[in-house]
Each structure stands twice: as C-alpha cells, then as structure tokens.
Amino acid sequence: MDAFSLYLSGFLLNLAIVFIITRFIYCSLSHDKNNIFTFISFSTVIFFVIGLVTNVKLGVGVGFGLFALFSVLRYRTDTLPIRDMTYLFIIMSSSVMNAVMLNNHLYTQFAVANFCIVTVAWVLENGWGFSYETKKNIRYEKIEMIKPENHELFLKDLKERTGIQNIVRFEIGDIDFLKDSADVMIFYKNRKQ
C-alpha cells in the first residue's frame, strides 16, 4: 500500500472511531450540533497535523504542544460543561494517538486502544454500576412551601408542576421575600435509568 493510500485509510479509520464516539455515545444524552461540529473538526485537523508532523520526523512533542495551544484557547472561549470538555479531550487524544500509531504501522495497538476508549466511554455514559442524577434550576414562587415542615408537600408540588416524577432531592438556594420566590435546584434520576 502506498503512502497516500495508507494516509487516507488512516484518516477514514480515525473518522470512523470519532463518529462512533460522537454519534453513538456522546449523542445518547446530548444533541448539541455545535459540539458535534467541534469534535469532528478538531479530530480531522489534529489527525492531519500529527500525520504530517510524524511524517517529517518533527516528533510527538509537537502534538503535545497542540494540547497546550488548545488549553490556552479553552480559557479564552465560552465555558463548556465538564462532560463536553472530556469528550473533546477524548477526541483530541485519540486523534493524536491514531495518527502516530497508524504512521508507525502499530495496527494491533491501534485496534486495542480504540476498542478500550470506545468501550470505557460507552460503559460510563450508560451508567453501568453508577447512579447518575440530572439537575435543573427552577424559580419557585410558593414561598410558604420551602419551610422544612412542608418538604413532603413541596416535593409533591415540584413533581406535579415540572412533570418530573423521579425527583430524588432538592436544594433551596436564594430566597427573595420581596418577590415571594426562591431558586430551587432539583435533582432527578437520569431518564436512561
């Protein structure tokens, strides 16, 4: 197989891995089109940059320099939730790893590493052995219900008004007595469980 075919097939393999992680694992709970664009774009660019770097023998150190560059960009842009940042790191790392391994003909290591990354992400995202809670901040205007003696009625009212029946707990935040309202954080079981 000539160098161009190897490079193209490596790109397609990397794209397939990124697609599996993004479409079937990340998107199982998130449907943010902007993040999907970011993940696949980052992966594509990083794969080609690292492929070029390893082909011209500049070394893997340049790849880790890209991580430093992206972490600086991270602090200069809008904040991403930790889950999305984790997926971005997985995508970036696997693209660097895939480019280096495929250019060095380490096909077994490529297959094992990608299988492990996809499997671990999928297992964690599906909550095997873990109990995940989702939280939502709401503004609540029945101020008399936040008293400790009314917590059972408060929980029942939260379930009725939000339509979320699997609320497991709540936290009362800021209370505004002038507007008779309070900020309430509700915690409920993830819908997949």
> Is this model's pTM higher than 0.75 or not?
no
Residues 87-131: pLDDT tens digits? 878 887 888 788 888 878 888 988 998 899 898 888 877 766 566
Shared-domain flag, residues 171 and 96: no
| 24 shares its domain with 99 | yes
Domain count, the chain: 2
**For residue 145, what are the domain limits?**
133-189
End-of-domain residue from the set 125, 145, 165: 125
Per-residue pLDDT tens over the stretch 157-177: 999 999 888 888 899 999 998
Q: Are residues 143 and 62 in the same domain?
A: no
The tokens for 83 are 């889950």
**Cα(175)–Cα(180) distance, rounded to whole angstroms?**
8
CA dihedral 25, 27, 32, 33 (to 10 degrees): 100
Are 94 and 137 within one domain?
Answer: no
d(CA 139, CA 147): 16
Residues 26, 87 within the same domain: yes
95 shares its domain with 183: no
pLDDT digits (tens, 9 = 90+) for 14-48: 889 988 888 888 877 666 666 777 778 778 877 77
Q: Which of 103, 125, 147 is the last residue of a domain?
A: 125
Reported as a single tens digit per residue, the pLDDT across 63-82 is: 566 666 666 655 555 666 77
Residue 189 has a pLDDT of 80
